Amino acid sequence: MALRSFIRKPENHRPDAPVVEFRGVTIHYGDGKPALEDVSFALTRGERVAIVGPNGAGKSTLLKAIAGILTPAAGSVDVYGAVSGGHICIGYVPQRSHVDWSFPVTVADVVLMGRVARIGLLHQAGRDDHRLVAESLDQVGMRALAGRQIGELSGGQQQRVFIARALAQEAELLLMDEPLTGLDTPSQEAIFNILDLLRARGLTVLVSTHDLQLAADRFDRLMLLRRQIIGFGRAAAVLTPANLRQAYGSHMTVIPATEGELALSDTCCAGDDEEEHHHD
Ligand code: ADP
């Protein structure tokens, strides 16, 4: 099911339209409160945006709506001017804990899957496809490990393989769900170096993260989410004490620091679901 929607060709991909446009989007899982409620925003080409907010704020839900995995109950999600749903221009990197890493595929296989989206399931990958796979692995510094099983890689290496898959797919929009969680600083740096390369190629990158500091330091714009958008823009405008209180309530301690800066302590998510799969 997922694969079929993944290989659907874009119908009205308009390069001049916003990369992503939500208009009044509401998404429910069951009968209770919606996971997202009346969410509207647009992304422009080439920007790097972080979605922040407490656990359960709807960050994954928002990414899945863009990827076409979830359909809104109300409102519309457009990608390059066309209704979302398996756009070939989207590379989606799910949370690591949601991937079956024991699946017996090699690094090169995973990246070649990005080509399947382009060439179709029934066609053999050709020399150009294999060349693109090799180039994509080169770009993320993973070519030497092309023959490894993906389960043998570290968390940071796995993220890089998924980025390579998006490159092989010639994605224009990269969605990453908590890619930085559980990575040490050098591994995070490696990811940011690659994201810088992608920026130079005009890719738009949307990343969910718990890390407000990284979000503020390393992204063009921040979306502060808690079922609804509390703020969307530059970090200084979004991470205000009032907005943070609205997003995190009593879980967030906002400590005024020197020179008008804020020291933030997110006590909400300490020790929760960030279990890592280590494969050392
Ligand atoms: P975040 O990524 O910010 O932690 P999610 O998008 O995962 O938030 O979740 C938003 C809300 O939707 C939460 O209340 C969560 O419990 C609920 N939710 C997420 N996935 C499911 C699901 N598969 N079934 C039912 N409820 C879900």
Eight-class DSSP state of 149: B
The pLDDT tens digits along the chain (280 residues) read: 334 334 444 556 788 889 999 999 999 998 889 999 999 999 999 999 999 999 999 999 999 999 988 999 999 999 988 876 667 789 998 887 777 777 889 999 999 988 887 776 667 778 888 999 999 999 999 999 999 999 999 999 999 999 999 999 989 999 999 999 989 999 999 999 999 989 988 999 999 998 999 999 999 999 999 999 999 999 999 999 999 999 998 666 665 554 455 556 555 544 344 333 443 3
Q: Is the CB of 55 under 6 A from ligand 1?
A: yes
**Which CATH number covers residue 73?**
3.40.50.300
pLDDT at 5: 39
Q: Is the CB of 187 under 6 A from ligand 1?
A: no
Report how many domains make up the chain: 1
Is 10 a domain residue?
Answer: no
pLDDT at 101: 79
Distance separating alpha carbons of residues 171 and 203, to the nearest angstrom: 8
Task: Answer whether 0.75 is exceeded by the pTM.
Answer: yes
pLDDT at 276: 37
Distance separating alpha carbons of residues 135 and 133, to the nearest angstrom: 5
B/e letters for 95-133, b = 16+ CB within 10 Å, e = fewer, are: bbeebebeeeebbbbbbbbbbbbbeeeeeeeeeebeebb
> What is the Å distance from ligand 1's center to 29 Cα?
8
CA distances in angstroms from 20 to 46, 58, 75, 222, listed in the order given = 12, 17, 13, 15
Distance separating alpha carbons of residues 255 and 273, to the nearest angstrom: 26
Question: Nearest to residue 164, comparing CAs of 145, 184, 180?
Answer: 145
Ligand 1, atom 24: closest residue by C-alpha: 29
Helical residues (DSSP H) of 53-106, grouped into ranges: 59-67
Ligand 1, atom 5: closest residue by C-alpha: 58
Range of the domain at 158: 20-276
Is 150 a domain residue?
Answer: yes
Ligand 1, atom 15: closest residue by C-alpha: 56
Q: Is the CB of 77 under 6 A from ligand 1?
A: no
Which residues lie across from 221 on neighbouring strands?
A: 49
pLDDT at 270: 41
Q: Is the CB of 253 under 6 A from ligand 1?
A: no
Is 13 a domain residue?
Answer: no
Is 135 a domain residue?
Answer: yes
Is 115 a domain residue?
Answer: yes
